[in-house]
Chains A and B, each alone.
Chain A
Amino acid sequence: MAPELTTPELWVDEHGAYLYNYALAQVHDSQSAEDLVQETFLAALQSRQAFEGRSPIRTWLTGILKHKIIDHLRKKYRELPESTVTLPYEKEGLFRTEGDMRDHWRAEVGPQDWVINPADELERKEFWKILEGCTDRLPPRLRIVFTLREISELETEEICKDLEVTATNLWVMLHRARMQVRRCLELHLNA
């Protein structure tokens, strides 16, 4: 469909739900997701003339929304206190702490095969539900860092600049978040 033949209301019909879910996967709060999608459509209406239909409408709208999500997460990150909590996987002690096999997985808690396979179309929905639960349970700052890197897919340099954290600090946070999300997934997928 040529862009001039679509009306903004049709944009909502065709892309509204997609954009809402895209936002929800990153901001984890339905009210903020709705607000961000609303702002996206308003911004799109204003810059409609500039959009020349060189890319699909969905790509254009997603691009606007992506910026708004990153802005939103950056602001939220700055409002949150630094988190010093020990994560569940750290409490569990996944690695041995002494002996010849120090820093190797403890056999009882080493990675196990997952029962639910995300590559399977039918199991994917279940996988996402569990994944969402696991990222939701991360301490708020870690969740934002994990989301910006893994879902918004920002480069690490960009995240460091946006959140004013050092590369080392960011990397430590990312690794802890990944370790925790993986362990949480494993415990719930195989439950």
Chain B
Amino acid sequence: MNKAIKNFVWLMLPPCKEVTELISLNRDRGISFAERLKVRAHILFCKFCARYLRQMQSLEEELHHKHLPEDAPPDVIKRIKKIVRDNS
């Protein structure tokens, strides 16, 4: 892309701080089509925001899938079992 055009497009786009806010808003209540386009365009120019978006997506995915451990302290399980037995 021509450098002048590139600069012009960049100036029309929201700054990084606003992009991070739009990414949060998008997750919570959705953002408009125009806002989405601005975020996408910004990310083409900005490696920091591209990483930010990727990281937030993988963080959400991890939190959502909750690969929780399948073991717990034995004494906790023992105490819970006792209560269940006493109340069965």
Contact = CB atoms under 8 A, between A and B. Distances in A.
Interface of A: 7-9, 11-13, 16-18, 20-22, 25, 30, 34, 37-38, 41-42, 45, 95, 101-105, 110-114, 117-119, 124-125, 127-128, 131, 149-151, 153, 156, 167, 171, 174-175, 178-179, 181-182, 185-186
Contact of A11 (B56, B67, B84): B84
A16 B62 contact: no
Contacts of B15: 95, 101-104
18 contacts: A8-B88, A13-B77, A21-B68, A21-B70, A34-B79, A42-B83, A104-B16, A110-B48, A118-B58, A118-B59, A118-B62, A131-B63, A149-B28, A153-B64, A167-B29, A171-B25, A175-B21, A182-B52
Contact of B28 (A20, A25, A119, A174): A174
B80 interface: yes
A94 to B, nearest CB: 8
B3 interface: no
B16 A150 contact: no
Given A22-B68, A175-B21, A16 B88 contact: no
Interface of B: 15-18, 20-21, 24-25, 28-29, 46, 48-49, 51-52, 55-56, 58-64, 66-72, 76-77, 79-81, 83-85, 87-88
Interface residues of A: mostly helix, strand, loop or mixed? helix
Nearest to A147: B63
Contacts, number: 129
Contact of A124 (B20, B67, B79): B67
Contact of A41 (B60, B66, B69, B84): B84
